Chains A and B, each alone.
Chain A
């Protein structure tokens, strides 16, 4: 995997007071994004607005298309043509993108999608689409979804998302939320020389030797430039290592085991979590996205009252950081799954905890982030 440093002309090194959506754009530009296809939707508009200004400055291309289907397919086309590509949308717009996302998973196109979740049709905060990010498209695939919890992380995780997309040749979704997307706070952008970027491997084989979908058992294939004689068919249909459309059951088996396996079998390498106040914790709050900060506040409140609480912050929700959750379930008397929806990801946490301790949902679906006090109050009910 060729690792390079970010280009200086793309990185706005320094301390900023920046809008979350803008920080995400700066992360993408730092990561080498050179194509963005978008369609207006609130609360993601500031992403395409800033992209339309920033991309031409660094020699990239910006297109506002006719709909979200355009965005996702234009991104896939640009990605296969060698681009580092991105689109952004919000819940309702993400519905339309599922078709293109399914195609991108199957033909292994690296691309990054920012989904700024909102409540149904309105600009209120929500985490109700956490399962859609994983299971929205038809077919067999594995999703990679990172979930920033602050403006700083919108910058950092966007670079991470681009690196994951290139490393695994898989779409990567940035699960943003109205809360952090429309928040302004401090952002530290490091020097370009401190930012490592992964770029997809290009084949060194000749067109005669090259097989577009040949890869190690749980790896991803090397790419080939488009229009350079490699004669690749990028088809949604089941295809063999040569890219030839083939409905043979063995071809199905090999293709889907590898396309899913490259993410599933590398989950421990992909997943990131952070343990906060966990060293002596008897109770753990597990949270992701903008629920992380009130969860930390709740743990601090609990400690003031003599309850030894800690927080496991999930930096990505898919693939499920099973190892970290399972470890926590061995250490504590109980887990609280904090979410801004009717209770969804709690199922994954319960599955990873495998009955080793009770897993209690703490949910709120009112278009508002939990306060630390609310989480603390709910938590007290479950502490024995």
Chain B
């Protein structure tokens, strides 16, 4: 008889919380998996860390992790995190938030935390819509895409959150997709060891809403294929014309520099 194999990274999870509540085919489970791999690689104990999540599908990721965490208010993750960091500067703080949380309702907190170079890691899962509420348009929804609140297509250009964070002063920014597990894991490792503000955007498939409304398919594989077609790496970019890159998101490292981190006004006293 073969022995039942337990995933070694299950030690990081709250057994009573499983199975998770993500839709089948959702990318949030993959992101959780990549994150646990990064923790294991760095030998970091989530019980000695603080995780912060707002509201949304992504905000559910740390609910499954054995850790102290804040949950349940939309968009305020970076404000909470600043308070924690001011009192416990040596405790690692990681934020899990969706594109709606970070770039829409929490946009103001994002640019100011990035500007201050607050020493935290933000993992932003970008599923290109407000998924938990049923698939409404988000600031990250591709132009002309159909959602539950853009039945005729979105009339707005979308945010490039990585470019926004970099412009605001973030010292470490990368974008990858759920189809790039090694890159995601390595990016998270770099973020967790980076002293300063890190934003890792992971473009993720939402077959339930974005897939069905914008792409007219509920098949996760089809959504993943669409994401692959609509993103490019720097290596791919070398063989692409500017027209071919139009409307697609760049994956890769945007910035990684060392700058003084924010510790309140006291340091100048």
User: Which positions in A face B, CB cutoff 8 Å?
Assistant: 34-35, 37, 52, 55-56, 61-63, 65-67, 69-83, 85, 99-100, 103, 207, 226-237, 244-245
Contacts and interface: CB of A to CB of B under 8 A. Distances in A.
A63 B82 contact: yes
- In order of increasing CB-CB distance, the 3 nearest A-B pairs are A77-B83, A236-B72, A73-B79
Contact of A227 (B14, B50, B269): B50
A83 B73 CA distance: 21
A73 B17 CA distance: 27
A82 B72 CA distance: 20
Contacts of B69: 232-234
B71 to A, nearest CB: 4
30 contacts: A52-B265, A56-B266, A61-B87, A61-B263, A62-B264, A65-B112, A69-B79, A69-B109, A70-B82, A74-B80, A74-B86, A77-B52, A77-B81, A78-B87, A79-B83, A80-B70, A81-B50, A81-B83, A82-B87, A83-B86, A99-B73, A100-B76, A100-B79, A226-B84, A227-B48, A229-B48, A233-B63, A234-B71, A237-B71, A237-B72
A47 to B, nearest CB: 15
A77 B265 contact: no
Contact of A78 (B68, B71, B84): B84
Nearest to A71: B79
B264 A236 contact: no
B67 A73 contact: no
Contact of B73 (A70, A100, A232): A100
Contacts of A35: 83, 86-87
Nearest to A237: B72
A250 B154 CA distance: 43
Interface string B78-105: 0111111011100100000000000000
B104 to A, nearest CB: 14
Nearest to A224: B68
B265 A65 contact: no
A28 to B, nearest CB: 16
B84 A77 contact: yes
Interface string B1-40: 0000000000000101100000000000000000000000
Given A73-B80, A76-B80, A99-B73, A82 B88 contact: yes
Nearest to B263: A61
A195 B257 CA distance: 48
A83 B87 contact: yes
Nearest to B14: A231
Contacts of A103: 72-73
B49 interface: yes
B266 A62 contact: yes
B265 A74 contact: no
A62 B50 contact: no
A77 B82 CA distance: 7
A26 B84 CA distance: 24
B80 A231 contact: no
Contacts of B17: 244
Contacts of A236: 71-73
A66 B269 CA distance: 22
Contacts of A67: 108
A232 B68 contact: yes
Contacts of B144: none
Nearest to B106: A69
A63 B91 contact: no
